[in-house]
Structure 1
Amino acid sequence: MAESDGSQTVTRAQTLIEGILIVLGALFFASIAVIAIQGTAVDAGIFDAESTGSQLLGTVVQFLAFGIVVFWYLRTTDRWETLKLGVPTARQWGIVIAGTIGLLGAQIGLTVVLDTIGISTGANRAVTAGLGNPDYFLAMIVISILLVGPAEELLFRGVVQTRLRETWGAWPAILLATVIFGVIHLPAIVGDTGQQWATIALITLLGVVLGYLYERTQNVVVPALVHGVHNAVIFGLQYLSAIGVA
């Protein structure tokens, strides 16, 4: 029994390391791709280095790169059957709607709680990049739904959470994948150290909802839609604020 427990511990450690390496590999590949393609666009005179167009191009390239890494991993390991993906059923569409409302409500509620106890959160660079430029927020609404939600959910839920579930079980896999999901957002948070980690804690808690939705529906399209629409709503509110409506 002790030998079996030790073997299981090693296997769990291996899958956790594998999951972390997949994410780090995706981040590294995306960084290289963004630098190369943004640099080419700037050198060709298509965009100025600090322009909105260059920022949006970098975002598009980053999440396309995530998708490429997911494709490479599944092809290399021949694990296509582990990715649960399909057209949502009528019931799953209902879960998408409820999940989106729940995720937005949870974010508002948790933010209020943090403010009440005197803890402030930081700002996401994806939001601050568009300050003073409403068109940026409009573009990010589309990018969130078509790229950000799908790419992050394919990576963190479709690949990492699925892999961890094989040795850790459902809830530990959800929690571990979500912690990784939260921590990798740290460089994108503007603020002091306390604000950054408060925001990471908030993102992590919201990520648990996405992980649960994948586990419940066994369809990565569901959390991808919830994630994408949630982000789109945030950018939509920023757009309304930028044009003086809200």
Structure 2
Amino acid sequence: METPERHRDDGPIRSTLVAIGLAAFGILASQFTVLPAVLLDPAVVRTPMEASITSRALLLTLNFVGFALAGGLYLAATDRGWSYVDLRLPTKRGWGYILAGVLGSFVFYVLISVLVQLLSLPSAENSVSGFIGDDQTMVLVMIAIVFLFNAPAEEFLFRNIVQKRLYDAFSRLQAVVIASAIFALIHILSYAVSQSLLATVVPVVVVFGGSIIFGLLYAKTDNLFVPIAAHAAFNAIQFGILYIALEYEIETAEPSTSLLVDLLAVVPL
């Protein structure tokens, strides 16, 4: 069992390598947890839109289960246990941070979307969009996945495990930046299908900025519930906007109206 003194004596290089290893382990674990969905319906990987909604939902859900599994195995292997998880109902101050996080995320992403449009920057779509397409039912399913699996799993691994692990060798602000950089870099896999390097870099940079916001929420409150709630609410609202866009064909409307829809091209899960 690792002692608190050993934690404090961790050097920055070792802590960073452990953090990167945890992120890589999360990706590796997700490759195994999605196997049942792939075996049940191979089309979900080759041609996702030809697969059933159930198959698509199962694959995405099991992907996030892999992240949670990686974090749980790390807690078990290091004898930290579940007491290491900072999960509790927020105070009134915590709810304020959640609201600030959601509003701050929207301000950030709207500004980024405007900048991307003004500079005519290319931006690759997240691979998750290939599982949604124009399927409104799948959009609603994604809202449930965001609340139950996506936000809890990602915040658990990258905030309560990776970011908190970095506290052993860095200041909280430094840990937020490093954890966010790692989180952004693993999303390269989600955009690697793009033929343009710039189109891949743009959304990855956007991911980094968004992760900074959620990381700060955790650093300020030491409560995992806060970034989970802010992350889930923000993504759910995005999918709500996409649902409305599909329902009323907003993308074919005036450019100013479709601006919010454009956010979905650069915002990951």
Structure 1 length as normaliser, TM-score? 0.88
The separation in 2 between residues aligned to 1:93 and 1:220, in whole angstroms, is: 12
Q: What letter is aligned with 1:37? A: P
Once the two structures are superposed, residues 119-172 of structure 1 have per-residue CA deviations (whole angstroms, 9 ceiling, x without a partner) of: 232211223421221111000011111111110000001000001111011111
Structure 1 unmatched ranges of 5 or more: 1-7
Aligned to 2:69: 68
Match of residue 33 from structure 1? 33
Deviations along 1:68-97, whole A, 9 cap, x unmatched? 211111122122444322111122112111
1:216 paired to 2:208: no
Give the SS at the match of 1:168: coil
**C-alpha separation between the residues in 2 aligned to 1:163 and 1:128?**
34
What is the alpha-carbon root mean square deviation over aligned residues? 2.0
Q: Give me the identity figure in percent.
A: 25
The one-letter code of the counterpart of 2:228 is A
Q: CA deviation at 1:21?
A: 0.9
Aligned equivalents of 2:216, 2:161: Cα separation in 1 = 15
User: What is the alpha-carbon distance in structure 1 between the residues aligned to residue 54 and residue 110 of structure 2?
Assistant: 30
Cα deviation digits, residues 27-46 of structure 1 (max 9, x gap): 11111221x21133228xxx
Partner Cα distance (1:99, 1:223) in 2:
8
Question: 2:67 aligns to what SS in structure 1?
Answer: helix
Unpaired stretches in structure 2, ≥5 consecutive residues = 1-7, 251-269
What is the number of equivalent residue pairs in this alignment?
Answer: 234
Identify the residue that residue 182 of structure 2 maps to in structure 1. Answer: 180
1-structure distance, mates of 2:130, 2:107: 22
Q: Does 1:157 align with 2:156?
A: no
Is 2:28 the counterpart of 1:24? no
Q: In the TM superposition, what is the alpha-carbon distance from 1:16 to its structure 2 partner?
A: 0.8
Q: Is the 8 A contact 1:149 1:228 kept in 2?
A: yes
Moved more, 121-130 or 103-112: 121-130
| Partners of 2:183 and 2:211 within 8 A in 1 | yes
**Which has a greater percent of helix?**
1
Say whether the 8 Å CA contact 2:94–2:221 is kept in structure 1.
yes
- Check conservation: 1:210, 1:223, Cα contact below 8 A: yes
Rounded Cα–Cα distance in structure 2 between residues aligned with 1:110 and 1:40: 39
Give a deviation string over 1:184-237, Cα, whole Å, max 9, x none: 111212532211101000110111011110000110110011111111111111
1:241 maps to which of 230, 236, 245: 245
Q: Supply the AA of the counterpart residue of 1:194.
A: L
Partners of 2:197 and 2:55 in 1: CA distance = 28
